[in-house]
Structure 1
Amino acid sequence: MQGTTPARAIRRLCVFCGSASGFRPEYAAAARELGMLLAQQQIGIVYGGGSVGLMGELANAALAAGGEVIGVIPEVLMRREVAHTTVTELRVVKTLFERKAIMAELSDGFLVLPGGLGTLDELSEFATWTQLGLHQKPLVLINTCGFFDDLLQFLKHAVAEGFIPEMHAAIVQVVDSPAAALDLILYGALPEIVPRWAVNEQRH
């Protein structure tokens, strides 16, 4: 971790990650490392509220290190008994849409660990919010073991084909480790993003 004064004050970060652990032990190790580092920096975690997979690894590591962990989980998953009931605070909501709104409200930025369709949905939605100028919070993808390489290649392809402005591809900042992600969030420069509607106006 860098020793200079942080570029921005961070109270809580939202972490998106899988409800499975994946086949590589490095995925769970990265989730545990991130949870521990955030707790050590006294940065609270907002996450999906699960007790299993990378979500459970992240939450347990942060709690063991004395960190604040706020879970936000929809009722349908609560009924399936996958909720982490010993986190600092567990908010049960009716819909996934409400879940995302609360996550955004509570968080000063977003970190993304490996995951499946739900993680991809969350990454895409919050990147879109930045693209539309709805928020200017950092969004950092932790590319453990190159997990997101194909997704990053898709973003490059979408830019080349004219579907994503080049500056908007920079919305998703990419690092290889939890420590690098935290350094970027605390000390790094945010990309300068012109909202999509403004970009469209500039083209006409």
Structure 2
Amino acid sequence: MNIGVFLSAADLGEQYTVPAKEFGRLMGEGGHSLVWGGSESGLMKVVADAVQASGGRLIGVSVEFLHDVARKDADEMVIARDLAHRKAELLQRSDAIVVMVGGTGTLDEATEILELKKHGMHRKPVVVLNSAGFYDGLEQQFRRMESEGFLPLPLADLVHFADDGAAALAYLQEQV
């Protein structure tokens, strides 16, 4: 399976790097490919290193203004013209999506993917990997959106929250 992963390119603490390494290792051992932003820095590098070290493939989708930090030894690297094209490429090349910890860029990617799914533009499973409770507030907000009628479909049909990489991968394998 080609698993698209949206996540931070920032250098982060062990509460985020340890789960990222574990998820990358599980992906690689399972024979899956990582489809990601292609960066050779921060958490993006941590996941890519773990996938590659455990036998998985790397499919990067960088963007022109970040091409200088793109991973040189990826199995495949696409350079998109802008961030919108990058998001479209990441979605197109992925069988499933995992959202890991990140900042505004990750949140932008996640909400666009979910909005497209809400409108039936794709049916790919989406998992939020809630490492160290990072997305507890987001999950609470989504539950409120559902309970107050803001979502036209059940939350469980839109996104799944997982506390660890094994649970995230198990959910994806059930869905794909």
**Letter of the structure 1 residue corresponding to residue 66 of structure 2:** L
Give the 4+ runs in structure 1 shifted more than 2 A: 156-166
Listed as ranges, the matches of 1:1-204 within 5 Å are: 11-22=1-12, 24-78=13-67, 81-165=68-152, 167-168=154-155, 170-188=157-175
- In structure 1, the gaps of 5 or more residues are 1-10, 191-204
Distance 1:186 1:169 in 2: 16
SS at 1:56 equivalent = helix
Q: RMSD across aligned C-alpha pairs, in angstroms?
A: 1.6
Tell me, yes or no, if the aligned pair for 1:156 and 1:169 is still in contact at 8 Å: no
- In structure 2, the gaps of 5 or more residues are none
State percent identity of aligned pairs.
36
SS at 1:19 equivalent = coil
**Letter of the structure 1 residue corresponding to residue 44 of structure 2:** M
Number of equivalences: 176
Q: Using the TM superposition, give the Cα deviation of residue 170 of structure 1 relative to its aligned residue in structure 2, in angstroms.
A: 4.3
Distance 1:153 1:104 in 2: 25
Q: Rg: which structure is higher?
A: 1
Higher mean displacement: 83-92 or 137-146: 83-92
**Letter of the structure 1 residue corresponding to residue 7 of structure 2:** C
Change (3 A) 1:37 1:156: same
Distance 1:170 1:153 in 2: 16
Q: Using the TM superposition, give the Cα deviation of residue 174 of structure 1 relative to its aligned residue in structure 2, in angstroms.
A: 0.6
SS at 2:112 equivalent = helix
| 1:201 match | none
**Letter of the structure 2 residue corresponding to residue 13 of structure 1:** I
Distance 2:133 2:122 in 1: 28
Tell me, yes or no, if the aligned pair for 2:101 and 2:131 is still in contact at 8 Å: yes
Distance 2:156 2:29 in 1: 31
Q: Using the TM superposition, give the Cα deviation of residue 65 of structure 1 relative to its aligned residue in structure 2, in angstroms.
A: 1.5
**Letter of the structure 2 residue corresponding to residue 82 of structure 1:** V
**Letter of the structure 1 residue corresponding to residue 165 of structure 2:** P
Q: Using the TM superposition, give the Cα deviation of residue 158 of structure 1 relative to its aligned residue in structure 2, in angstroms.
A: 2.5
Distance 1:108 1:170 in 2: 16
Tell me, yes or no, if the aligned pair for 1:71 and 1:87 is still in contact at 8 Å: yes
